[in-house]
Structure 1
């Protein structure tokens, strides 16, 4: 499943090329991807027809387009969802599920493609953020063009607003999702206190989207390897310097992955122009069972964890003895 860097790559592409456009046509080719829009397909179409996109915003693994109607088009990519910008006359993708015609931009249409159909789209209402801060990260950096995007059309691009700035609103279904590791408004003191109270294993805590969002199996393993921490280390035993080091490693690995377009193990994760990321070439732990640790040479081990796997170095990341922090 795409994690924060992969979703952020997609979000930046949408922010650059879809902001300021108007949705002038909506076609739902399969009902399952809009199943979370409880009012049905006809209502989904009517709520999107004629609205203008103000920005693309992300919190954790969720992204949404803010609309001038006061609502949002909420998207979750699931296991294989893709949001692609294509020319209207381009051949339909095999697993094309929803098509949005756009006017006022680069002449492309937005397509939701999803092979396994665990992802989906819904038009939802907005609510105030619990802490009064921005709902999530919006806009795109002035000096950064996402990898693989088409050439910018003549004249000024459609990007509006300041990178990172946003209203203190977020889609109602996302209200329970915590701020993510790259969010400037993340309260590290609050996070530390909540980790202390949780009394669980460290990787379980990192994967808990109500504690800190955007981290999945890949980047949890990578950050824990960098921090030299075992995935089952008790959170209530963590001291503050250890937590600070871990959070810095989470942030660094995600920034590095973002700079390389994310991690792509197959064709299911791509950016809005259909390009894959390359961070899998720099992985230190995830997926490297039996290979030598890049730090000490010990073979990376894989263990079953929460119906998935954890990859770690048994020498660099020893299981802590009882009572140690």
Structure 2
């Protein structure tokens, strides 16, 4: 499943090409890909036709595009087109004359010059598109990431958020992310550290790959008890989460197969730089520099896997498993 850097790569591409363009035609080729739009395909079309994309916003792995119809009064309840990428969803901008992909599900024709179509492609149909309402953020701060900054995007000026994303915490690249608040939340939760990193109500956007990479960089075991973490350890961990995500952004995201691509169809290459994830039985690169031959280990964790170095990330005596 795409993680925060992958979604941010997509968001930046959409921000560059979509903002200010009107949706002139909507084709739903597979109704399963708009199943989250409860009122069906005709209402989906009606909600989108004639609207203009105002911005592209992300919080964690949630992505939405606020809409406005310049020919009508501002709606009492603002709306947005929300995209859920699922396991294999792709938002690709292409020219109208380009051949359709086998798994094309929804096509939006846009005003202006080429590329004139936004295509939603989804092989496994776990993702989808739907129109949602925007609600005020609980803290009165911007709802998520917008703009094209290399530091993770600028905050959108509107203190609105898609209703489906209102329950999740801010992610580490969000300018409004609060390190002291996150540190206190960790201590109160009393759980294993990786479980906390994957808990979207504590901190959003971190998935299995980048959790393992940040824990390796911080020399922290995945089962370390959150209530026993020192302030310096939490600060180092958050900095390493940011560093790993920004490195992935610079490389275009992490891609292990053909299912993840950015909006231009180009895969990411960050998997070549992974230090822990997927490297079971391979030498720990940090230990190698010390002349040691420690091998990366894999443990089963929450029906998934955790990869770590048993020397750099020692097993805690009183951890939470």
TM-score, normalised to structure 2, is 0.93
Correspondent of 1:124 among 115, 126, 132: 132
- SS of match in other structure, 1:311: strand
- Partner Cα distance (2:121, 2:192) in 1: 36
- Partner Cα distance (1:105, 1:301) in 2: 51
Unpaired stretches in structure 2, ≥5 consecutive residues: 70-77, 288-292
Matched residue count: 306
Correspondent of 1:195 among 168, 186, 192: 186
Match of 1:313 in 2: 309
1:37 and 2:37 matched: yes
- Partner Cα distance (1:38, 1:175) in 2: 19
- Partner Cα distance (2:271, 2:277) in 1: 9
| Contact map agreement 1:262 1:279 (CA 8 A) in 2 | yes
Correspondent of 1:110 among 118, 129, 132: 118
- How far did residue 31 of structure 1 move? 1.2
- Partner Cα distance (2:157, 2:200) in 1: 21
Displacement over 6 Å in runs of 4+: none
- How far did residue 187 of structure 1 move? 1.2
- Partner Cα distance (1:271, 1:74) in 2: 17
- How far did residue 104 of structure 1 move? 2.6
Match of 2:5 in 1: 5
| Contact map agreement 1:2 1:77 (CA 8 A) in 2 | yes
Match of 2:298 in 1: 302
1:265 and 2:261 matched: no
TM-score, normalised to structure 1, is 0.91
Match of 2:214 in 1: 223
- How far did residue 105 of structure 1 move? 4.8
Matches within 5 A, 1:13-162: 13-69=13-69, 70-141=78-149
Alignment RMSD (CA, Å)? 1.6
Unpaired stretches in structure 1, ≥5 consecutive residues: 145-161
| Contact map agreement 2:96 2:114 (CA 8 A) in 1 | no
Matches within 5 A, 1:199-278: 199-278=190-269
- Partner Cα distance (1:59, 1:15) in 2: 14
- How far did residue 321 of structure 1 move? 2.1
| Contact map agreement 1:269 1:276 (CA 8 A) in 2 | yes
- How far did residue 29 of structure 1 move? 0.7
Deviation string, structure 1 residues 129-157 (Cα, Å, up to 9, x no partner): 0111100011223xx7xxxxxxxxxxxxx
- Partner Cα distance (1:30, 1:23) in 2: 19
- How far did residue 66 of structure 1 move? 1.0
- Partner Cα distance (2:268, 2:85) in 1: 16
Deviation string, structure 1 residues 262-321 (Cα, Å, up to 9, x no partner): 101111000001000010000000000000000113100011111111000011001112
| Contact map agreement 1:199 1:235 (CA 8 A) in 2 | yes
- How far did residue 53 of structure 1 move? 0.3
- Partner Cα distance (1:39, 1:105) in 2: 32
- SS of match in other structure, 2:56: strand
| Contact map agreement 1:17 1:106 (CA 8 A) in 2 | no
